[in-house]
A and B are shown apart, each in its own frame.
Chain A
Amino acid sequence: MSGLHDIVLTVNGERHAVRVEARRTLADVIREDCGLTGTHLGCEHGVCGACTVLMDDQPVRACLVFAVQAQGRALRTVEGLAQGSRLSPLQQAFVDNHALQCGYCTPGFLMLGTAILEQDPAIGDEALVDALSSNICRCTGYANIAKAIRAAAAAMRAETAAAEVA
C-alpha cells in the first residue's frame, strides 16, 4: 500500500480536488478523475506526444509527470482552447488545412502548437520542424500540421492588427 494523496489540480482554470495514488500519471488523472478525455494516451512512456498538455505554459508529456507533481501548477488541456463554440485560431487552422485525419494525435499537436505560437509566433522553418518532431502523427505526414501552425500565426497577427485599428 503506497497511500493516497489528496491533491487539487487546476485544469483550464477549474479546480479539481482528487484523491490519487502517487503512481498515477497526470495524463491518467486528467482523463479518469477530472473527466477530461480530450488528452489522449499513446505510448505511455514519453515517445509519441499524444498526451502533451501545458503546465505553467510549458508543453509537457502528461504521461511523464505524476499527478502529485502538478499541484499548484496551471494546467491547460485541449478542452480549454475553444471559447464556447468558437474554436481557437489554431484549432480552426487545423480544420481549414486538413491537419488531422484520424485525430488521435491532434490534442497533443494542438497543445504543442499552442505553446509554439505563444513562445515564438515567428518561429523559423527549421525550428518549427524540430519542435513538431516532438510528437508522432501517422496520418498526415506533418506538412499540413506545419501549414496549420503558420496559418494560425497569420490569423492571430491579423486579429491583433484589426484590434489595434479598432
Chain B
Amino acid sequence: MKPAPFHYHAPGTEGEALALLAELAPEEGRILAGGQSLIPAMALRVARPAHLVDIGNVPGFDRLTSEDGILRIRPCVRHAALGTGTVPGPLGALLETMRGHVAHLPIRTRGTFCGSLANADPASEWCLLAATLGSSMLLRSVRGGREVAGEAFFQGFMTTALAPDEMLVEVRLPLLAETVRTGFFEFSRRAGDFAQAAALAVLELRHGAIVAPRLGLGAVEDRPRRLPEAEMMLEGRAPSAALFREAAAAARAGLLPMDEDSYRLDLAETAIRRALSAATGVPE
C-alpha cells in the first residue's frame, strides 16, 4: 500500500526542527529520521502522521564521538555506522555483534540508533543495549533539555519518556573497559526478523568469579530491562552451567511476558543461559 498524504518539512538546524515539532506535534506531527520503522507503518496505514519533520539534513546529527569514556550517538547515526570500525574496545565489538541482528543490510544503512530507541519496540536490540548498560538519553524541546536514565526512558510497549514535542537528540553509552566481557544471544524465526527473546550479559571475571554483572532481557516483556534477581545470584560466583541455569530460572520467575505462552519464557531462559555462556566462555 501507499502512505497517506502528509505535509513534509525539512529543517536545516536543530532549533528549526524543535520549533517545527513544537508547532506540529499537537497536529499529529512526527519526526522522520531513518524511517525504517515509520515508513512501513505508514505504508500499512498503521501510522498516518499529518506532518513529518525530516531531520536528515540537520548538520551534526550524524555525529558519533567517543570521549572521556562516553560514546555519544546523535539522532541520525545509522545502524551500519556502529561497530569496531567506529567505536573502541568491547563496546565496539558488542555493537558490531548486535548490529548483525538489526534487520538487514539495506535497512541498517538507513535506520538510526536513536530512532530505534524512540520507537521502543520491545524486540529492539538497541533498546536492550540501552536498558542494560548505564545509558542516558538527552531529550530536548523548545521548552529546554533534560537527561533521562536508560532505565526510566522505556515506559512500556512502544512507549517512552519522550513528550510529543521532544526529540531524542543524543544517547550516551559508557565505553567498556578492556576487562569487560559481553555476551549476546537472540532467538528469531529468520535472519533479520524481530527477536522472540534476546539476552545481553555484561560482566567482568576476577579470580574466576563474576563481578558487577549486568543482565538484560528484551522481546519478552513489554519493554527491555535488567534482571536484578539473576544479577544478584551471579555476583561473586564462579561461572558454570549450573549457575547459568539457576540465574535463568530466577529471572524467569519474575517475568511478566507479553503473551501467556510459556514457549517465550522457555526461549528467555535459554537466551539468558547462552548470553552468560558467551560472556564468560563457559559452556551452558
User: Interface of A with B (CB < 8 Å)?
Assistant: 1-3, 5, 21-25, 28, 44-46, 49, 52, 55, 58-61, 63-66, 68-69, 112, 115, 130-131, 133-134
Bound Cα distance A149, B110 (Å): 24
Q: Is B242 an interface residue (CB 8 A)?
A: no
B49 CB, nearest partner CB in chain A, Å? 10
Q: Known contacts A45-B40, A133-B191; is A23 also within 8 Å of B104 by CB? A: no
Known: A22-B52, A44-B43. A66 touches B36 (CB 8 A): no
Known: A58-B109, A64-B40, A69-B54. A49 touches B104 (CB 8 A): yes
Task: Return chain A residues, CB-CB under 8 Å to B100.
Answer: 130
Q: Which of B3, B6, B106, B190 contacts A59 (CB 8 A)?
A: B106
Interface residues of B in 35-82 (CB under 8 A from A): 35-36, 39-40, 42-44, 52, 54, 56, 80
Cα–Cα distance between A28 and B105 once the two chains are bound (Å): 21
Main secondary structure of the interface of A (DSSP, over half): mixed
- Min CB distance B1 to A, Å, is 6
The residues of B with any CB-CB pair to A shorter than 8 Å are 1-8, 10, 32, 35-36, 39-40, 42-44, 52, 54, 56, 80, 100, 104-107, 109-110, 190-192
From residue B186, how far is it (CB to closest CB) to chain A in Å? 14
Residues of B within 8 A of A24 (CB): 2
In the assembled complex, 26 residue pairs joining A and B whose CB atoms fall closer than 8 Å, in A order, are A5-B8, A22-B6, A22-B7, A25-B3, A25-B39, A25-B43, A44-B1, A44-B2, A44-B43, A46-B39, A52-B106, A55-B109, A58-B80, A58-B109, A61-B36, A61-B107, A64-B110, A65-B39, A69-B56, A115-B105, A133-B190, A133-B191, A134-B104, A134-B105, A134-B106, A134-B107
Residue in A28, A45, A52, A133 whose CB lies within 8 Å of B192: A133
Q: Are A49 and B106 in contact (CB under 8 A)?
A: yes
User: Which chain B residue has the least Cβ–Cβ distance from A129?
Assistant: B191
Q: CB-CB < 8 A to A5: which residues of B?
A: 8
Whether B8 contacts A22 by the Cβ 8 Å rule is: yes
- 7 closest A-B pairs by beta carbon, nearest first, are A22-B8, A134-B104, A2-B5, A45-B40, A58-B109, A133-B191, A59-B106
Max chain A Cβ within 10 angstroms of own Cβ: one of B39, B100, B190, B192: B39
Residues of B within 8 A of A59 (CB): 105-106, 109
Among A58, A66, A130, the residue within 8 A (CB) of B39 is A66
